[in-house]
Amino acid sequence: MATITERALAATLDHAILKPELTRADVDAELDIAAEWKVFSVCVRPSDIPHAVERLAGTGVAVGTVIGFPHGTTSTAAKVAEVRQALADGATEFDMVINIGALRSGFDDAVAADIAAVVEAASGHVTKVILETALLDDEQIARGSRLTERGGADFVKTSTGFAGGGATAAHVRLMRENVGEGVQVKASGGVRSYADALAMLDAGATRLGTSGSAVILGEARRVDAGEESTGAVDASSY
């Protein structure tokens, strides 16, 4: 993938607003960035959902949230309760963290059942399953991807960004190879530049999680205008 237009790239972005230390003013600034650049969605902390829905009303930007975040070790019942509350608050997409320890232990049936319960609770809304690839080997990533499909989720996702590592093109390709056409791949963690975004899309991702949307799309805008991309960035990403 040589280039992608600003608008096409914006349609792949989930703007992350997840750091625990963010104040309401910080959250508002990020929500305004998402609206200004017309990204696909924001991914906010569960407690921020009602405010995000209100502030983004009429912008066309969807509001998503995280479930079992960031470790995935909450019970299935707790994850289901989180989804139900988030739905009631207005969220329309759910990024759940897989039970990482269960996956590493080989408890495949438990992992698939955990995913399936969240998918059912989401009532037809988009569910993404975060594997946390930095904590897994290739076999576990491949198996986790297949279990994501078995559980009925819409996306398999690389990372939370809170485990010391993020997406790599190699892991995105591995995930893409282990799910059917009905499951998409989301790359998140370390997607900080236009070049990073292109690499992840080229590897097979169709959605990108980042807190650097303005930097990435600003670079895409310059490319659209015929300016050479420098790849230089100054942004953090989840």
Q: Which residues are catalytic?
A: 95, 157, 186
Q: Cα 17 from chain centroid?
A: 11
Contact 117, 80 (CB under 8 A): yes
Radius of gyration of the chain (CA): 17
Q: What is the distance between the alpha carbons of residues 118 and 123, in angstroms, rounded to a whole number? A: 9
Q: What is the distance between the alpha carbons of residues 165 and 219, in angstroms, rounded to a whole number? A: 24
User: Which long-range CB contacts under 8 A does 227-233 form with residues at least 24 apart?
Assistant: 229/194, 229/195, 231/193, 231/194, 231/195, 232/193, 233/192, 233/193
What is the CB neighbour count within 10 angstroms for residue 215?
Answer: 19
Q: Cα 68 from chain centroid?
A: 14
